[in-house]
Amino acid sequence: MGVGFSMCSAAISTEDAMIRVAVAVALIGLALIGSSVHAQTSLTPIDRGQRLYQLNCLHCHGAALDGKGPDAASFDPPPANFHSYLSRVKGNDQIEYTIKQGKRFLGMHNWSDTLTDKEVQDLVAYIRDAAPQVDVK
């Protein structure tokens, strides 16, 4: 028998090549997912809080955290201005409580079913970065 090429060996080679391509695609996919997860986990609490604020809070509290978001006019009293003295003297635990429980009869709904404790802490970190707490003595 001379140099021959059987269909069986060609089918195995094709199958082997398809498996290699599938594995390569899977590895690339995992690498992309891993880099995305790494990028999210490498964000600071303030960065994560800013993202959460933009998604969940901005429409009421405003981009400047001043209580003048696009939906603010529909609230009476208006949403909190985090730069106000009254907001800045509140402790972080008070802000966390308000985010989790809301403000009954004031339009601020609770976020306890939507945000994790860590996410609430990240939100507070962002708020405090923009409007630091004032110590009252």
Residue 136: inside a domain, yes or no?
no
Selection from 55, 50, 82 nearest residue 66 by Cα: 82
Residue 100 has pLDDT above 60, yes or no: yes
Q: Are residues 26 and 11 in the same domain?
A: yes
Q: Are residues 10 and 65 in the same domain?
A: no
Range of the structural domain that residue 122 is part of: 45-130
Beta bridge partners of 71: none
Residue 137: inside a domain, yes or no?
no
Selection from 17, 82, 18, 73 nearest residue 49 by Cα: 82
Residue 36: inside a domain, yes or no?
yes
Q: Are residues 126 and 66 in the same domain?
A: yes
Q: CB neighbours (10 Å) of residue 67?
A: 19
Residue 110 has pLDDT above 70, yes or no: yes
Domain total for the chain? 2
Residue 7 has pLDDT above 90, yes or no: no
Selection from 62, 49, 47 nearest residue 96 by Cα: 49
Q: Are residues 81 and 26 in the same domain?
A: no
Q: Are residues 38 and 50 in the same domain?
A: no
Q: Are residues 51 and 24 in the same domain?
A: no
Q: Percent of the chain beyond pLDDT 70?
A: 76
- Which amino acid, residue 120? V
Name which residue leads in pLDDT, 14 or 60. Answer: 60
Q: Are residues 66 and 49 in the same domain?
A: yes
Q: Are residues 30 and 51 in the same domain?
A: no
- Which two structure tokens, joined as six digits, stand for 22? 């599938």
